[in-house]
Structure 1
């Protein structure tokens, strides 16, 4: 069976990563969480005092440090899931917090950050057989991907999912704060100058607001089988 490239894009907290992980496992492909890569860069900037209290990023300092930054994914043998490592440190839990979420869109809008990470992502997908999710996978990273999916759902549904996820991890969360964060990220992601979030012309749209995880997986597998058969 031929291998293809699968690009899953969409708004924040749409469940893209969950969908992509499930599909990759189902079809035996490699999964790459590009959002985690931008979150790791954001955490790096926060730790090194590159983000001011007003949210402004010290771009000059970050640009100088980008070459020292290494993001990797390693399999957790106990959970069977890939986890994010920043310069050799497991930061999977830390990058999912609200503080990182509140700054990641600003970091992801920086041209040299996107250039560096897109180059890494393209190297990862050189041999196909990969599922990658993010904001610009089907438009910038892999414009020739054989299967492109654009995921959407209402801001309220996405905020509720994020709220439930954090509470499930024992993290204190405020729904209104999360909803505001989701709406702000939507605006920033859609209006940034570099690689704005948009649906690729040849992408298939999926509103998963009312779908169960099992239904989403079934839909994805069907689209995958159609593309592989072509």
Structure 2
């Protein structure tokens, strides 16, 4: 049986999960999977097919017309991470899925069982066959319950909003800081309140508040924990 080493990184929006997870995966020389990008990609595809939809429309009952449309879109959609770029049905969507609108819609569709189960099954299959660093909101509590290392990253709301603002600004997208702050606040509530696999810290996860930490400090902490676990396995 193949010996696996999986790192599950969970936490709210703007905590730095993707940036940290990418660097950790590179250092450990294992696969990085951005599950948040998968939900964003699904949200982008749904918005493209149903332009009028917003997160406010997603309190859907199973026999609604929109739910049927979403189910059909999800079941036909192809998502891949070839060359480190996320594609939906062959279209590179890396920059198109990072807007506040898509972020909120992603949080909304993540409440829908058809979306959560479909993408969750893909993620579980990847993690069952590979050494991975996987980040998201339910990785340690649902996707890789037996991950060798679980980290729960958090930071203050204002710091997380500032990080998201700076990220968008660096890409040439000028957004209103207060709107980003409110979007993250709303998404925190949605993610924590959803019925199916809500955002929460796994009981065996290490909680790390990154408010006053830089990227290198966080990466180094996680690498030290990973190496410690690897040494214990050998011994």
| Shorter-chain TM-score tier | over 0.9
Range that drifts further, 30-39 or 49-58: 49-58
Range that drifts further, 136-145 or 93-102: 93-102
1:201 corresponds to: 203
Query: 1:100-115 to 2 correspondence within 5 Å?
Result: 100-115=102-117
Runs of 4+ more than 4 Å apart: none
Distance 1:51 1:13, change over 3 A: farther
1:136 corresponds to: 138
Instruction: Check conservation: 1:11, 1:135, Cα contact below 8 A.
Output: yes
Instruction: Check conservation: 2:141, 2:202, Cα contact below 8 A.
Output: yes
2:17 corresponds to: 16
Residue 127 of structure 1 deviates from its aligned partner by: 2.5
In the alignment, structure 1 residue 66 sits paired with structure 2 residue 67: no
How does the TM-score come out when normalised to structure 2?
0.92
Residue 98 of structure 1 deviates from its aligned partner by: 1.8
Residue 50 of structure 1 deviates from its aligned partner by: 6.0
Range that drifts further, 194-203 or 97-106: 97-106
Range that drifts further, 55-64 or 204-213: 55-64
In the alignment, structure 1 residue 48 sits paired with structure 2 residue 49: yes
In the alignment, structure 1 residue 26 sits paired with structure 2 residue 27: yes
CA distance, structure 2, for counterparts of residue 53 and residue 43 of structure 1: 11
CA distance, structure 2, for counterparts of residue 103 and residue 176 of structure 1: 18
Indicate the RMSD between aligned Cα atoms, in angstroms.
Answer: 1.2
Residue 74 of structure 1 deviates from its aligned partner by: 1.6
CA distance, structure 2, for counterparts of residue 225 and residue 127 of structure 1: 21
1:5 corresponds to: 6
CA distance, structure 1, for counterparts of residue 132 and residue 72 of structure 2: 31
In the alignment, structure 1 residue 87 sits paired with structure 2 residue 89: yes
Count of aligned pairs: 223
Query: 1:175-190 to 2 correspondence within 5 Å?
Result: 175-190=177-192
Structure 1 unaligned segments of length 5 or more: list them. 76-81
